[in-house]
Structure 1
Amino acid sequence: MGASREDVWLALSELWLDNQLDQNDHRHIARVLYASALPLAELQAIYLEEVAPLLWGNHWVTAGVWSGFDPTWLGAGCRVNQARRASRWHRWRCRLLRKPMTYAAEPEWRQVLLCLQELQGSAQSTRR
């Protein structure tokens, strides 16, 4: 069974936790994204327009959340942002604030994308 959008939100939320992720964490997040079967463009939009606007403040506080975000709270906030994606104002705001929203998460996101590419490559080679 594939991963739900809520699973994607929860996995991506790890990028904003106040702790250091390792390669196993990157692989775990990539596996969830892969299992969702969502296109890369949609995953990127979820990262930038649904999760980042909700969680970016965690990297700007002295002692941020490090053990994990409450899934109920996370889901509610991401659902609001998902609905806001239709708004040009929301998309403009996300573009304007992209650097501060993702400055600490972006290196981790790039590592996740590399792991996701590996998964996709492995899946394609096994289909041949």
Structure 2
Amino acid sequence: MRASREDVWLALSDLWLDVAPDAAGRQHIVRVLRASGLPLAELERIFYTEVAPVVWLNGWSVAGVWTGFDPQWLAEACRRNQTRGRWHRAKCRLLRGPMTSMCIEEWRLIAAELAQG
């Protein structure tokens, strides 16, 4: 079964929930990302420029989302980010540290597993 871009957004957004994914949660994310058929470089771009700008503040919130983001809200916001240009990508590069500090280690584990095939 092929995973859609919306499935990728939703899976990646789990990295910003108030509860870090356990091994089973991480494996679910890996399965979804593999099922998308997208190359790792594209998945990394999606992580940094489409999903992170939408959900990163949840990681800094005292009472953030624990169970999962609303799929429709997430898809609409990520779709907007998908169409933004250079200025958006530049902002994402500047804010990369704060946007991903809560989940970068998890992302690196996932990316390493995807790179291994």
Instruction: Provide TM-score, normalisation by structure 1.
Output: 0.88
* CA distance in structure 1 between the aligned counterparts of 2:112 and 2:76, rounded to whole angstroms: 29
**What residue in structure 2 maps to residue 11 of structure 1?**
11
**What residue in structure 2 maps to residue 106 of structure 1?**
104
Aligned sequence identity (%) = 59
* CA distance in structure 1 between the aligned counterparts of 2:49 and 2:20, rounded to whole angstroms: 23
- For residue 114 of structure 1, report the CA deviation from its aligned partner: 2.8
**What residue in structure 2 maps to residue 60 of structure 1?**
60
- For residue 24 of structure 1, report the CA deviation from its aligned partner: 1.2
Secondary structure of the structure 2 residue equivalent to 1:20: coil
- For residue 50 of structure 1, report the CA deviation from its aligned partner: 0.1
Mean Cα deviation higher: 19-28 or 50-59? 19-28
**What residue in structure 2 maps to residue 77 of structure 1?**
77
> Matches of residues 25-40 of structure 1 in structure 2 within 5 Å?
25-40=25-40
Task: Report runs of 4+ in structure 1 exceeding 6 Å deviation.
Answer: none
Matched AA of 1:66: W
* CA distance in structure 2 between the aligned counterparts of 1:75 and 1:10, rounded to whole angstroms: 8
Instruction: Provide TM-score, normalisation by structure 2.
Output: 0.96
Q: How many residues align?
A: 117
- For residue 115 of structure 1, report the CA deviation from its aligned partner: 2.8
- Give the conservation status (yes or no) of the 8 Å contact 2:40–2:111: no
Secondary structure of the structure 2 residue equivalent to 1:79: helix
Q: Note the residue ranges of structure 2 that are not aligned, 5 or more in a row.
A: none
Superposed CA offset, 1:60-109 (max 9, x none): 1111101100000000000000011xx11001000000000000110111
- For residue 26 of structure 1, report the CA deviation from its aligned partner: 1.0
Matched AA of 2:82: Q
* CA distance in structure 2 between the aligned counterparts of 1:39 and 1:20, rounded to whole angstroms: 24
Higher Cα Rg: structure 1 or 2? 1
